[in-house]
Chains A and B, each alone.
Chain A
Amino acid sequence: MLRFIGKRLWQGGLTLAALVTLTFFVMRLAPGGPFSRNRKISPEVQANIEAAFHLDEPVWQQFGRFVWGIMRLDLGPSTRHRDYSVNDLIASGLPYSLTIGFWAVVIASLVGVALGLAGALRRNSATDYVAGTVGVVGIAIPIFVIGPLMQAIFSLRLEWLPVGGINDGWRSLVLPVIVLALPNIAYISRLTRTSMIETLRENYVRTARAKGIGWRRTLWRHTLTGALLPVIAYLGPATAAIITGSILIETIFAVPGIGRHFVDAALNRDYPLVMGITLLYGGILILFNIGTDVIRAILDPRIRNER
C-alpha cells in the first residue's frame, strides 16, 4: 500500500508540473494583458510597468522566474491587486473558501448518502420519490436563483441571517454552505441510490444473505462499502472544487474567498494570481484523487489485488 501511495504521489507531482506548465504558456494566448486599459497609457509608463512585473522578458524566462519562485514558496506579486503578493491573497482568501467548502462537503455527503439509501431501500415507494424529488430540486434550481431566493426569505423576510459578508460569525456561514451543498446533495443521493440498488443484487451480497448473515450486518459490512465506490470517485474532484471556492457562491454572498479571485484574475489577466491558484487547486485536486484511490483500494479488495 505504501508503495502504491508513493508511486501515486510521484505521478501526482509530475501531473501538477504538466498542468502548471501548460497553463502558464496557454494563458498567454488569451487576448489583452494585465495592463491593457481603456485609455492608452504613455509608452514610457507602460514600459516601466511591464519591466517591474518582468512582462518585457521572453515568456520562457518568465516561466523560469516563476519556477524559481515556486521553489522559494514565492508566487510573485499580483498585477491586479497592487498592494498584495499572490501569497498574501491566497492566505487571506483560502480560509473562507475552506471553511464554507468543508461544511458544504460534510453536509452534502451526509444528506446525500442518507437520501440515496432511503430511496434504494424503499424503492419506488413514496419515500423514494420524495428523496428523488428533493435531490432533483437541488440541481434544477440553479445557484444564482436559489441564492437570492434564500436571501429574500431568510434575511429580508425572516431576518434570521445576514444577506452576505463575513461579519456575523457562524450566521454568515449558513446560507452559503446550504446553497453550495444543494447541487452536490443531488449528485450524491442519485449516485448512492443507483449504486446501492446494483450492489444489493450482487452475488456476494446474495451469498452473504444466503449464508444467514444478518440483514443489518450485510447492509453495513458489504453493501454500503461497495455501493459507495462511485460516490467516493465523485467526491474526489468535487471536494477539491468545492473547498477551493465557488465564484457564484462567493459573489452572491459576498464571501472574500479565492473562488472569486480565480475568475477575477483570469478576467483581469492577472497572470501570477492565475498561476498561484491553478497550482493550489491542481495540488488539492491531485491529492484528493490520490486519497480517493487509496480509500477505494482499501474498501474494494478487487482493486487492491490488481496492483
Chain B
Amino acid sequence: MSVDLAPSRGSSTFQLQLRRFRQNRLAMASVVVLALIVALCFLGPYAFPFTGEDADFDFISAPAEFQWPHLFGTDDFGRDLLVRVLEGGQVSLTIGFLGALVAGVIGVLYGAVAGYVGGRTDGLMMRLVEILYGFPYVILVILLSLLFGGGTVALFAAIVFTLWLTPAVIVRAQAQSLAQREFVQAARAGGMTGPAIVLQHIVPNCMSTVLVYGSLLVPEVILSESFLSFLGIGIKEPQASWGNLIQAGTAAMDSDLRLLLLPGGLLAVVLLCLNFIADGLRDAFDPNDR
C-alpha cells in the first residue's frame, strides 16, 4: 500500500529508498517468502486433478500421509485439505490486502484532512467517526447483506465500513500536531494549497504509523471474514477461505489438529512476513532519515 500512497518525489529519492529497503535482509527474505506463498496459492491448485470443492466420499477425513494426491489428507466432506487451504489463500489474501488497502487509504486521507484542517470541520468529521463506531455492528452487517445480497460486495462493505475508523483516529491525532509544525507552516506561507500539503507533507509524515498499522489490518480483515460468514454474509462453504478453515479447524482441534495447523500456520507466516516488510518499508521511507 505504501507505493500507492507515497507521493512521487522524483526517481532519485525513490531509488534511494528502494536501495535502502534492499539492504534490509530480513525484509527482503520476507518479500521472497510472501511472494512464494502468493504464487503457491494462485498456481498450486492447478497441479491437482480436482478442486477444493470436489467431495470424495471414499476418502472422508483421510489423515496427512504425504501421499499423492491427498498430501495433507482430506476434510470431513472428503475434500482435499491442501487444495482447500491454497484456494482459501486466494480469497483471503485478496480480501485481506484489498480490504486493508481500501480501509487504510480512506482512513489516512480522512484522518489527515480532519487533523490538518482542524476546527469545526475536524469536530464534525470526528463526531461522524464516533457515530459509526457506536452503531451496532451486527445490525449493520444484517442490513448490508439485505442491501447487497450476502455476496462478496456485502462482505467487502462490512469489512471496510468499520476498519477505516481506527486508522482515521490515529492519523488525525498525528496530523493535528504535524499541522502546527514549522515545515507545514512554511509550506502554507509559501502558498501551497491545502490538498497539496495534506498529500505531500501530512500523509508522508504519518506513513510509518500507517504502514505498521496497515500490516496489522490485513490479518484482522482475513479473520473478521469468518465472523461475518457466521452472520450469513461473505465467503460461504463450500468455497474455502482461511477464516472459515481456521474456524472449522478450531472446532475439530481436539480430534484432528492438522485441520487447524495448515491454514493457521500459513496465516501466521504471512503475518510475520508482513510485519518485517512493514518495518523495512518504514525505515526506507522515513522522511527524517534522508
Contacts and interface: CB of A to CB of B under 8 A. Distances in A.
Q: Do chains A and B touch in the complex (CB under 8 A)?
A: yes
What is the interface of chain A mostly: helix, strand, loop, or mixed?
helix
A185 to B, nearest CB: 12
Nearest to B178: A302
A135 B133 CA distance: 25
Interface stretch (B9-17, B66-74, B151-159, B267-275): B267-275
Contacts of A187: 213, 216
B134 A19 contact: yes
B177 A229 contact: yes
A102 interface: no
Given A141-B268, A274-B136, A191 B143 contact: no
B142 A266 contact: yes
B123 A19 contact: no
A30 B250 CA distance: 31
Interface in A97-145: 129, 132-133, 135-137, 139-142, 144-145
A129 B29 CA distance: 14
B268 A137 contact: yes
Contacts of A142: 223, 226, 246
Interface residues of B, number: 56
B130 A289 contact: yes
A286 B254 CA distance: 43
A233 B275 contact: no
Interface in A133-161: 133, 135-137, 139-142, 144-145, 148-149, 152
Contacts of A229: 173-174, 177
Given A139-B220, A198-B288, A229-B173, A31 B134 contact: no
A210 interface: no
Interface in A25-52: 26-27, 29-31
Contacts of B250: 144-145, 148
A70 interface: no
B134 A278 contact: yes
A201 to B, nearest CB: 5
Contacts of B180: 302-303, 305-306
Interface stretch (B40-48, B75-83, B162-170, B189-197): B162-170
A26 B144 CA distance: 12
A61 interface: no
Given A140-B219, A302-B180, A195 B209 contact: yes
Contacts of A249: none
Contacts of A195: 208-209
Given A27-B139, A229-B173, A237-B166, A285 B134 contact: yes
Given A30-B143, A136-B271, A190-B212, A201 B288 contact: yes
A191 B215 CA distance: 11
Contact of B254 (A152, A201, A303): A152
Interface in A148-191: 148-149, 152, 186-187, 190-191
Contacts of B126: 289
A92 interface: no
Contact of A191 (B139, B209, B279): B209
Interface string B246-290: 110010011000001000100110011001100100100010110
Interface in A221-245: 229-230, 232-234, 236-238, 240
A277 B288 CA distance: 45
Nearest to A284: B134
A193 B279 CA distance: 10
A296 B173 contact: yes
Nearest to B131: A19
Contact of A30 (B139, B166, B213, B226): B139
Interface of A: 11, 14-16, 18-19, 22-23, 26-27, 29-31, 129, 132-133, 135-137, 139-142, 144-145, 148-149, 152, 186-187, 190-191, 193-195, 197-198, 201-202, 229-230, 232-234, 236-238, 240, 262-263, 266-267, 274, 277-278, 281-282, 285-286, 289, 296, 300, 302-303, 305-306
5 contacts: A23-B134, A191-B213, A198-B209, A263-B138, A285-B134
Given A198-B286, A266-B142, 10 more contacts: A19-B134, A23-B135, A26-B139, A29-B143, A31-B146, A195-B209, A197-B208, A237-B165, A300-B177, A305-B180
